[in-house]
Structure 1
């Protein structure tokens, strides 16, 4: 039996910061937790790293037990635990990868929950799901179409694709604040395959897709987007990991309608509740410590006259903050999978 490969940043990481970003302002969009809407593709993993990811997500165990279909995409792999895909989980929990993704996003990020680590979108070819089982573990170069005429037809189809018709992943907003979309296929000869972004003023902007080992980082919760169909390639496999801000005080607008159809109920409810409770515990701890700090700054003499001392809690602002936490709790409850 082949010994598992351990993630080694010196071997498997090749991060270079994105040369360009599209800001939320350029997309005419408000909200979000960072000024950055989506990055240009940038290198993240070496071919050695991509090969190890593919080895796990193309394994019989993953394809037999951890693949689903939905209205968003015809074939997806997800929810595989650490013992089934240890390299996948090691990549997305490594400090080096988290620093790279956070730098690209313009805000420090952490994975939303284990269940969403390494979600895979497989674009099905003519052989369908069975063709995926015969896909090479290594990201092989894909031959271009045989004739210039065939390439012209593919280019015309790609140019006309605005995400509204028969495409790879239809228009949607992600469930979680940020995503990192990593390309696991060699797409040097790919035509199309971009991400289509719907702007706040109704335009469609196409962002170039990454090549093998490169990725894009996007505020997918706040940008309506579609993964356009790729032509001139026999495979297109992407890995998507979802993130929230590491700072618990930063807004977390996560919701689960698009996650319910592709998830196992008990697993999702447990991980969703756990991450939300831990985040709220951090928030309340921070606020409690700030109250204690304000009290300590006043000194013991502040209430020597027995009249109650100086104001520590601003009732209006604290009431507003508590209402926000109550709304967060209500969202936690209403998003349960039942």
Structure 2
């Protein structure tokens, strides 16, 4: 016969058997910026990258794939990857919500769901929000059609790079070595990885004193429906082309700090329309300016509120206000400076324009 204590425990939903948060934290590996030797004064969290964690179910992934692989959606929004090193890869961006039209309601709802946001915040260790609509659920696709000889070259290059023989420049990739333009990203696996060899994201650690070659380390590859979070703005990384699988599809959503007063380092280096073929000129720049303007308005509102509060007490801190205005001015200047295309950049754009 059950004891009163056992019955009470059952009726209380067995809260006495809840796994402590310390166990969760100790078993989920997170690599810090310091461990990666990539610490930066402008980083938004100490997190460098997480191990894969479950984010969406198989059923949810199937619905997502159904939406973005719709013939009309796919053909309208997909472009060749501008920095693929293997030539048969593509990006699908700005398709979930196009101006006021939500083309993919399930994907849009899934990424904006409060439970999704809460989990990503917990994993990142900071309160975040999606940076803007164009950066919801970007899809990177590897459309492999190479023969066995090419697969062997890929395997050899990866083994060489991860064994320390090279610096990783010879890894055939869906997306080549780069820093993200947005502060932090969540990378979700959409493909069945059962037979996939490689394909895991690789990072470059910072140099120790006296070193000349940066160490390349792989992040454990997530299975379908699992994700990892990466502070890609300050960590150079690559998405290698996998072996043993007909596809590699990942979905990436980009984030910024929710607090508008937090240092926010988004740039346009890898995403401006002149460079990235999947950024539609009028749409992308409009969203960029809109989001930056909103941040500026919020910072000015906070400044005005602070001044009004202090004025009641007849205390005006001139130096603090001037410092604040300088930061806002710097942020505004950065907004239009990132939209500029210098001559050196144009040369690379022209050189890159004729390849697929």
User: Normalising by structure 1, what TM-score?
Assistant: 0.80
- CA displacement at 1:245 relative to structure 2: 0.5
Change (3 A) 1:163 1:92: farther
Tell me the equivalent position of 1:49. 60
Q: Cα 1:330–1:75, aligned 2, differ >3 Å: closer, same or farther?
A: same
1:19 is aligned to 2:28: yes
**Cα deviation, residue 317, structure 1:** 3.1
For the 8 Å contact 1:269–1:337, the answer to whether it is kept is no
Q: 1:136-171: CA deviations, max 9, x gaps?
A: xxxxxxxxx9xxxxx999765532246412222111
Offset at 1:191?
1.4
Assess if the C-alpha contact under 8 Å between 2:303 and 2:321 holds in 1.
Answer: no
Match of 1:292 among 302, 308, 325: 308
Q: Which moved more, 1:159-168 or 1:90-99?
A: 159-168
Aligned length: 290
Determine if the alignment matches structure 1 residue 77 to structure 2 residue 102: no
Find the counterpart in structure 1 of residue 7 from structure 2.
none
Write the distance in 2 (CA, Å) between the matches of 1:71 and 1:154.
20
Aligned twin of 1:7: none
Residues 278-334 of structure 1 deviation map (CA, whole Å, 9 limit, x = unaligned): 1111112122222323334x3xxxxxxxxxx5x422x33332222221111111112
- Contact 1:62–1:77 (Cα < 8 Å) also in 2: no
1:182 aligned onto 2:188:
yes
Alignment partner, residue 294 of structure 2: 278
User: How far apart, in 1, do the equivalents of 2:94 and 2:259 lie?
Assistant: 25
Where structure 1 has 5 or more consecutive residues not aligned to the other structure, the ranges are 1-15, 129-144, 146-150, 299-308
In the alignment, the residues of structure 2 paired with residue 312 and residue 158 of structure 1 have an alpha-carbon distance, to the nearest angstrom, of: 60
The whole-number CA distance in structure 1 between the counterparts of 2:184 and 2:230 is 6
State the TM-score, normalized to the length of structure 2. 0.76
Task: Quote the Cα distance in structure 1 between the aligned partners of 2:76 and 2:168.
Answer: 30
Give the drift of 1:177. Answer: 0.2
1:328 corresponds to 2:347: no
Residues 186 and 228, structure 2, Cα contact 8 Å, conserved in 1: yes
SS state at 1:191 partner: coil
Please give the per-residue CA displacement for 1:224-252, whole angstroms capped at 9, x wherever unaligned: 11112211111110000111000101111
2:129 is matched with 110
Q: For the structure 1 residues 125 and 324, does the alpha-carbon distance in structure 2 shift closer, same or farther, using more than 3 Å as the test?
A: same
In 2, Cα distance between equivalents of 1:182 and 1:157: 25
Q: Distance in 2 between matches of 1:265 and 1:152?
A: 39
Question: 2:44 & 2:91 partners in 1: Cα distance?
Answer: 28
Distance in 1 (CA, whole Å) between partners of 2:129 and 2:146 is: 37
Take 1:179 and 1:277, find their aligned partners in 2: how far apart are those partners?
22
Distance 1:264 1:154 in 2: 32
Match of 1:191 in 2: 197
Deviation at 1:52, TM superposition (A): 0.7
- Among residues 254, 264, 283, which one is paired with 1:242 in the alignment? 254
More deviation, 152-161/320-329? 152-161
Does 1:160 find its partner at 2:160?
yes
